[in-house]
Each structure stands twice: as structure tokens, then as C-alpha cells.
Amino acid sequence: MNINLEQDWIKFESLGATAYYGYTTPGTSDSSSSWAIRQVLGTGPSMAVAWNDNTLLSYSAAWDERYDCFIAPTASLGLTWSVQNSTNSFNITSALINLSWDDLSGVNNYTLLINDQDGVIYNYLSQPFANTYATPMTSQQTGTSYRFSGVPSMTYSVTVTAINAAGSTQSSADITT
């Protein structure tokens, strides 16, 4: 599908030299996290363009939060967790770490980095991260919770980073299972 960025927007707002364009399916609620928001600063030949989470047509923002998408987040993530041991049918015990954090206005992208006491970084499958060509991370998502399957009697360092077009903030914790 081809989209004309100058004509195919659903919502538009102009505030002096700043304009916001919203792209989504017609009829989508302004509070739904399924908008791609483009900010255009300036007029004439000297304009700067930014997208809600630095990705062209990333349909993850709420139109109601369009201003906050372009202001660096500063609020605390309020990272919390619980640990629960679980034994499967093969008599293997896992330490399930349930993480949650606050949804920050204007943030649509959260990255998690989980590593153990030996410095091993884990991927989204709770396995050691092995891709030497990518930036190590455990998960990248839009939600405010994550479940990690670890090993009992280990210490894991968890960092959650909230990212938007203007910056990021993070919260970290050391969790002993």
C-alpha cells in the first residue's frame, strides 16, 4: 500500500511552526495506541520531521498523547516484580519473574535487558543472547509487563528503557530468585 504523507492523514493539527499529522484507519479512537504520528517543525525549506518512536509509520501511538511523543520522558517507570518458582512435568524448576512498569504518556516503545550474575544477556526466549550482529536486548515491546523464565538461586539485573522520539528514561533492578 502506498501512502501519500501530505494527503492521507486522518488527523492534523497546526500550532504555529509545529504541525502534527496522524495516520491510522478511519474511525480509530484518539486514545487507541494504533496511530503513527508525524511532527513537522518549521516552515518552507527548513523543516524537521520526526515520528512518534523514530520509525516511519509505526502505528503504536495515541493521538491524545501526540505532544508527549516528542518530549523526552522523565517520569519514573515504577518497575515492580514478583518471583514464583514453578516445576514442570519433567521435574525441572524455573523461577518465573513477572515484571511490570508504568505506562508513560508519549512512550510507545519499551526495551528490556536482562542479564544474570555472570553477565550473560538473555533473549526473548529466556535463552542466552547469541546474535553478534545486533544490539543485545531481551525484548522490545509496547506493553507494560513481561514474564521471564530464569533459574532458581540466581541474581538477574533487569533494565527497562522507555523510548520515544525525543529521548529515553530507564529503571533498573537486581532480582534474586
The pLDDT tens digits for 152-177 are 999 999 999 999 999 999 999 999 99
CATH label of the domain that carries residue 144: 2.60.40.10
Query: What's the total number of domains in the chain?
Result: 2
Q: Which domain holds residue 98?
A: 80-176
pLDDT digits (tens, 9 = 90+) for 44-57: 888 999 999 898 99
Same domain, 94 and 168: yes
Confidence of residue 43 (pLDDT cuts 50, 70, 90): confident
Separation CA 8–CA 153 (nearest Å):
54
Last residue of a domain, one of 23, 52, 70: 70
Residue with cell 491524545: 64
Inside any domain, residue 2: no
Are residues 85 and 172 both part of a single domain? yes
Residue where a domain terminates, one of 70, 90, 109:
70
Is the same domain home to 162 and 97? yes
Whole-prediction pTM? 0.88
Per-residue pLDDT of 106-126, as tens digits, reads 999 999 999 999 999 999 999
User: 143 and 114, same structural domain?
Assistant: yes
31-68 burial code (b ≥16 CB/10 A, e <16): eebebbbbbbeeeeeeeeebbbbeeeebbbbbbebbeb
Residues 121 and 169 in one domain: yes
Q: Is residue 50 included in any domain, yes or no?
A: yes
105 within domain boundaries: yes
